[in-house]
Structure 1
């Protein structure tokens, strides 16, 4: 039966990948139904993760309607145009910090056209900055104080003596350092534009166009909306510090709001404040691009994570018997497992939700768990993730293209190297801090 159930799981994931976008969430729910029909009791739904995503996306969407995202994009374009020759180094830093601040990699959508345009103007192969920028936006999820993946992971680490602040203290510098080092390598990947036959053919056909600097209209309360959102993030981190066992400022019995509840409350309060103080129509939030992509992510997490937890919970004993002791002798195997799981589960939060509790049950050390956490960001392997596809579509030079063998695309090397370095640095930093 375990073989049949595994085939159902893999078949549902394959179907979801074929459907694309929100379809992977649909297929995950369908997979749970099939498992139930063969006698498997459904596992726990990732309700906590979904609620956090919904609240964060609501605040971001409100900020976008108020013009905050346009303000950030305009600042990004100004930065990149001021230092165009270094775009491969600056572009990933922009997408990294935007994701860290927003808790979602979908913020990269707004900056990708700017990155592609500035690279073209400088004769730099656009696939270089675009590829590492997309990868940076994915791995930054594991360093964001308000991402669902970090909140869930820090929650399961607390019983092991590792709190939220320690997770961030390790994950932020390790992933950032990995992105910076990888950007230097990425700057030498691929042919120069003058030697690329695909680009030359598209150039002769008149398919490559330069749009120049675009004037973005900044709404009156754009800066105010960004400040409100930034204050909410600071409040989340401050509250998490105050209730931390390591700080001990607020005793556990006196805590009224859990960290998860606090994030939801602060984000919803930020959305309310933006709606009131920036004078936006709340109904406009429903049509904001970030709101739509965020709600799509909720469905994907619901379906895929539920499918994963259903299968794992049903065979926890068998998995322990098969993998018992392995993580103690070869701790790096956890990062490899998370890497390939993320490729299929399509979400950092879903991967963490499905596999981290099992890794803890198998006896993985806290250092191994934290160091391997960055590997849940391997969403770039299959060229189906929205930001990856957007980068391909926005590069009319043809340099950011998916090869006929599917896996031979420009995101592979930067992605693998970034995660490899993040894990290596994670073991180093974790050994010192924990």
Structure 2
């Protein structure tokens, strides 16, 4: 029966991938119905903690966007890229990485992708080079963000092993950032130069590529204030997590747990931004980041619940089967997380579904070193930020091949995650 159940899980994940976007969550819930009511499995744990964290963080990010904060950050990114256009392949991923690190969601990359594509084309750089690594950077940075659901959930799973929130950040931030920067060097040599790309030359000859029009973006009066409030709220999260940490021990038996504090601080930040910048809260509901974030909540609800239902039913068998293999080849955990995230389409969902079982088999060092592998959302070319990058590049250099997997995000993504895992195995034993 275990193989039949696994096939059902994979079928509904595949169906969700075909539906796309929020449909992944819908299909996951149908899979839960089939496994429970159809085959008699006990329903798995609903990832309520993940969903609440995503909702609260997205609420603050959306409020900042409506207040003009994201436009202000993009304005700064635009100036930085145009000041050093020859380094666009290195600066662009650093920008998307930092924005995701601060916001806890990779959807902030949408606003910077048009700027990256334009700066690259205007300076004769093949846009697929900076765009591909920028999308990868926005996905990998989730596993290093202080306010991402994946990091918060994973740190909670690690606490019984004596590894706290700050330990995880001290490992994940440097390993992922260095991996992104090294991968950007490789990306600078991927694909032919723009002036030798057949698709670009054809589009140019047909007049499909037009000169970029200079558009003056007006920065709202409350934009800087919204960024400041949001930044201070993230600082407050890190400080509070430090104070309640068992290793620091300044606040013992805190009234608010760390997860509850993150939710409270993020919603408070949204409230302050709304009051200080005098924005209409109805506009927050229509913000692109809010829509993307709420879609992510449904996706996590469906697929993580489906994964928890299957894994929870067979946890002992999985431990028995995988235990000896992972003892001898611990890096295989990263491979398992890689393929799982490729199907589950969410770092948080993959973490919630697989990491509890993984920590019952491997030591915390192996789990932490492999953590970045939950970011393999780029393998199938259907993830929203990936598709946005393809659409933003009017030169056609960022295109998806007929074989599905032959797209410009695959090689940078595999290299970046591989480097993250290698660096994780080097750094984690020194801190944990």
TM-score range, shorter chain: over 0.9
Q: Secondary structure at the match of 2:146?
A: coil
**Structure 2 residue 76 is matched with structure 1 residue 75:** yes
* 1:219-368 pair list within 5 angstroms: 219-251=220-252, 254-362=253-361, 364-368=362-366
* C-alpha separation in 2, matches of 1:321 and 1:285: 48
Q: Secondary structure at the match of 1:359?
A: helix
How many matched pairs? 431
* C-alpha separation in 2, matches of 1:317 and 1:367: 22
Quote the offset at 1:378 in angstroms: 0.5
Quote the offset at 1:212 in angstroms: 4.1
Q: Secondary structure at the match of 1:324?
A: helix
* C-alpha separation in 1, matches of 2:364 and 2:39: 36
Partner of 1:86 in structure 2? 87
Contact 1:123/1:193, CA 8 A, preserved across alignment: yes
Q: Secondary structure at the match of 2:51?
A: helix
* 1:33-432 pair list within 5 angstroms: 33-36=33-36, 37-251=38-252, 254-362=253-361, 364-432=362-430
What is the TM-score normalised by the length of structure 1?
0.98
**Structure 2 residue 30 is matched with structure 1 residue 30:** yes
* C-alpha separation in 1, matches of 2:180 and 2:44: 35
* C-alpha separation in 2, matches of 1:240 and 1:222: 27
Q: Deviations over 1:217-270 (max 9, x none)?
A: 10011000000000000000000000001111112xx31000100000000000
Instruction: State the Cα RMSD in Å.
Output: 0.7
* C-alpha separation in 2, matches of 1:274 and 1:369: 37
Structure 2: state its 5+ residue gaps: none
* C-alpha separation in 2, matches of 1:209 and 1:235: 46
Contact 1:117/1:210, CA 8 A, preserved across alignment: no
Quote the offset at 1:134 in angstroms: 0.1
* C-alpha separation in 1, matches of 2:28 and 2:244: 36
Contact 1:209/1:396, CA 8 A, preserved across alignment: no
Q: Secondary structure at the match of 1:257?
A: coil
* C-alpha separation in 2, matches of 1:225 and 1:38: 50
* C-alpha separation in 1, matches of 2:110 and 2:162: 37
Partner of 2:11 in structure 1? 11
Runs of 4+ in 1 over 2 A off after TM superposition: none
* C-alpha separation in 2, matches of 1:120 and 1:156: 45
Contact 1:304/1:345, CA 8 A, preserved across alignment: yes
